[in-house]
A = this chain, B = another copy of it.
């Protein structure tokens, strides 16, 4: 298909396709003349992925590029899949809290029965997010944090079951990376609906 057809099928303006091509987020088409190129389904898949990550995932181009790089060089086995995925994912956006909440987080995770590595990037994001919430006056105790942790463990089980069904390590990596970014808003929306359902129930 031509660039205009690719843009139509991907639901973006032609100038966005050209922008992604210039930025290297979309691979070049097969040149058919000096000014024309032909694009295939692999371009459309890539265009949809980039568009989703930017528009719905709210990621910057640097984050998208890091994710695409990870997807293009998948690990040979499923071992370390999560490590690669978490490195390519943008950190949960939280900035410089005024004080740390290390102790309450580590105690809560111990209560939830999690053997936590003390130096992972996910844990430091967690500590910063908890500190920011407490700074904003949210009463996030060790007890409620442990209960949140147990609930999110169930979410992670679903995540890993879905990954386990993937036919290859490359596809599994794609699901972890894209699924982690794109399912966060699904979970946030489910939480709001669940609050209403639970409130009506009480």
10 intermolecular pairs with C-beta atoms under 8 Å apart: A56-B94, A81-B199, A86-B195, A92-B188, A133-B179, A138-B179, A147-B157, A149-B193, A159-B198, A187-B191
Residue in B86, B98, B182, B194 whose beta carbon sits within 8 Å of that of A11 in the complex:
B98
- Chain B nearest CB, measured from A115 CB (Å): 7
Give Cα distance in the complex from A190 to B108, angstroms: 11
When all copies of this chain in the complex are counted, the total is: 2
Asked if A48 and B138 sit within 8 Å, CB to CB, the answer is no
- Pick from A147, A190, A195, A198 the residue with the most CB of B within 10 Å: A190
A97 → chain B closest CB, angstroms: 8
User: What number of A residues sit within 8 Å (CB to CB) of B?
Assistant: 86
Report chain B residues within 8 Å CB of A197: 114-116, 153, 156
List chain B residues, Cβ under 8 A from A49. 136-137
Residue numbers in B under 8 Å from A160 (CB-CB): 195, 198-199, 202
Closest CB in chain B relative to A114 CB, distance in Å:
5
B161 touches A144 (CB 8 A): yes
User: Which A residues, 133 to 185, have Cβ-Cβ distances below 8 Å to chain B?
Assistant: 133, 135-140, 144-145, 147-162, 165, 174-176, 178-180, 182-185
Given A93-B185, A158-B151, A162-B144: A126 in contact with B193 (beta carbons within 8 A): yes
Per-position binary interface string of chain A over residues 118-144, scored 1 when its CB falls under 8 Å from any chain B CB and 0 otherwise:
001011011011101101111110001
